[in-house]
Structure 1
Amino acid sequence: MRWVMPAETAPQERIWMAFPPGGYALGDTSEEAHAARSCWAAVANAAVEFEPVTMIVAPGDEEVAAQYLSPEVEVRTAPLDDAWMRDIGPTFVVGKADDGGTRLGAVDWVFNGWGAQDWASWGKDSLIGTAVAGLAGAERVGSKLVNEGGAIHVDGEGTVLVTETVQLDPHRNPGLSKADVEAELARTIGATHVIWLPRGLARDAERFGTRGHVDIVATIPRPGTLLVHRQNNPEHPDFAITAEIIEFLHTTRDAAGRAWNIIEVTAPETTTDAEGWVDYSYINHLVLNGGVIACSFDDPMDATAQQILADAYPGRRVVSVDARELYARGGGIHCITQQQPLLP
């Protein structure tokens, strides 16, 4: 069986999410918990207007989840530590058999709390990949690679974007070389051409970050085209970082040998929050059947970014959800969702 990860623009069966079970995601007060639950639910309730959504809820949280979620959102239970389904859940792939048949697969990466972070717990989350694979009726594709769904972006034609500071992180995959990682990405998601970004954004490299997930930096709306985060404020540390990444990407090609059409997506004008420099990014959006769920930040750049996304995904309706509560907890809309492809 040859496994291939379809592009996120390919037809989808459903979206998988996880409802925040407690801990830092809910915060220390009832107001903070309400804000978190409302934001996760807002994404689910927007997405279910386009396609089915399944929300994994920790046992005992069914009643509170029902207060926030649309009745159209399917709820299934499983133990959870956290709620970043893109990272704790499986990466869905499509298997192509020699007889021409197709099968749904689910790559179950090793999850160790974004590189064994001292603030993270992952005993329950490390089992979610297998659990979701079973609920989806997918064949589990085991992997010994420590990896997360937010650390890869594909074009469906063999290209995958990764980051040196993630897959080569000594707290994730000590001793592995680029060749080792590339071989495993070829086996599990059908990658034939790996592009190694040098790093991620500044805040993502801080204590509560992922150490450089690509899904806040760049994405591939269609083969040969990149949407890339650009910070234009010279006082922000990402000003230099995003310039370096864009310059690097101009030197690369996709799996078909094409030079990239790079569309820069300017960051919001808001540059700080109570914790310091923000990594607010419009790149971290969710593509759906007929739609896009975009991050908004009550910022003057929101409308511009929404139009860029509408142009990048013609025929899809762009819906914005205020993502500030997500970013305050370490991620965005793409980070809390995972698409399951529709089998042909």
Structure 2
Amino acid sequence: MTWMMPPEWAPHDRLWMAFPRVGQTLGDDPASADEARDTWAAVANAAVGFEPVTMVVDPSAVGEARARLSSEVELVEAPLDDFWMRDIGPTFVIDEAGGLGAVDWTFNGWGANAWATWTRDDRIASFVGERAGARHLVSALVNEGGGIHVDGEGTVLVTETVQLDPRRNPYATKERVEQELERTIGATHAIWLPKGLWRDYAGWGTRGHVDMVATFAKPGTVLLHWQDDPAHPDYAVSRELRSVLENATDAAGRSLEIIELPAPAALRDEENFVDYSYVNHVVVNDGVIACGYGELEADERAAAILREAYGRDVVTIDARPILARGGGIHCITQQQPTAGAR
């Protein structure tokens, strides 16, 4: 039996999310915590206008979730450590007969970060997969959903600092990682990017998730985060990644068309250089839920690029409260493809 991860633009049965619960990531400032809850809810309430949404909620956060979420959003209870569904949830795949599978990657808190706990989060992939009626596919590879992007035709984007991270997979080689990605998600050709965004290597970072820097908009076409201000360290990162992509081919042997998604003008927040990326959006049925950063011109420019790239409506949500905690809209969502869509 072979499995294939459909691209994000394939039809979905639903979108999965996890609601913020009290803890280190949420923070202890009440106003900031409420802002985060409101933002997670805003993403879910926007997405449910395009497809069903199921929110996994820690029992301690049910009241906060019900107060903010549309009645159309389904709530299911399960104990959580954190609330990044892209990374703690399963990666859904389809077999030759159209059956649904759920890849349960090994999760260790993004490389055993000192601030992370994951005993409860490590059970969420199997919980979600079972709720979805998917076959449980266990992988020994330490990986997260934010660390892969596929074109649905055998190509996967990955970063050397994630799958080859010694705190994730100390004995990994590119060959071993590629073999496991072929077994689990049907990727026959990997494009290895050397790194992720600068800020992703400090604080709440993942040390290089690809979903902050590049994604497929269709086979042969990559959307690339583009920082055009030399004062930002991602100016050099963007150009290094573009050079790699310009010299890469996909599983079909095609050279890649690269579409730049320019970063907003903001360079810093109260912590350091920002990682504000429009690449970190989620594609839903007939739509895209995109990150906004409070800059009307830049947000509208990004929405126009995404609208053209996908041919879908774009809804922009101010994602700064998500980015402040280490991710974006793609990081807090996980699509369940329609069985038989392969």
Instruction: Report the TM-score range of the alignment, normalised by the length of the smaller protein.
Output: over 0.9
For residues 137-286 of structure 1, what are the structure 2 equivalents within 5 Å? 137-286=133-282
1:339 deviates by 0.2
1:260 deviates by 0.5
Are the aligned partners of 1:25 and 1:36 in contact in 2 as well (CA < 8 Å)?
no
Q: Deviations over 1:20-69 (max 9, x none)?
A: 11113321122111101000000000000000000000013222210010
SS in 2 for 1:305: helix
Out of 327, 334, 342, the residue aligned to residue 330 of structure 2 is 334
C-alpha separation in 2, matches of 1:203 and 1:60: 31
For residues 290-301 of structure 1, what are the structure 2 equivalents within 5 Å? 290-299=286-295, 300-301=297-298
Q: Deviations over 1:113-172 (max 9, x none)?
A: 000000111010011011101111100100000000000000000000000000000000
For residues 101-120 of structure 1, what are the structure 2 equivalents within 5 Å? 101-120=97-116
Match of 2:51? Answer: 51
C-alpha separation in 2, matches of 1:159 and 1:91: 15
Are the aligned partners of 1:24 and 1:329 in contact in 2 as well (CA < 8 Å)?
no
1:207 deviates by 3.3
* Amino acid in the other structure paired with 2:253: G
C-alpha separation in 1, matches of 2:146 and 2:214: 11
1:92 deviates by 0.2
Are the aligned partners of 2:20 and 2:61 in contact in 1 as well (CA < 8 Å)?
no
Out of 117, 120, 123, the residue aligned to residue 124 of structure 1 is 120
C-alpha separation in 2, matches of 1:112 and 1:60: 23
Are the aligned partners of 2:21 and 2:60 in contact in 1 as well (CA < 8 Å)?
no
1:216 deviates by 0.6
The percentage of counterpart residues that share the same residue type is: 60
C-alpha separation in 2, matches of 1:245 and 1:29: 37
- Structure 2 spans left out of the alignment, 5+ residues: none
C-alpha separation in 2, matches of 1:279 and 1:62: 31
C-alpha separation in 1, matches of 2:129 and 2:171: 29
For residues 13-92 of structure 1, what are the structure 2 equivalents within 5 Å? 13-92=13-92
SS in 1 for 2:32: helix
SS in 2 for 1:320: strand
How well do the aligned residues superpose, as a CA RMSD in angstroms? Answer: 0.7
C-alpha separation in 1, matches of 2:122 and 2:88: 7
SS in 1 for 2:60: coil
Question: Scaled by the length of structure 2, what TM-score is found?
Answer: 0.98
C-alpha separation in 2, matches of 1:72 and 1:24: 29
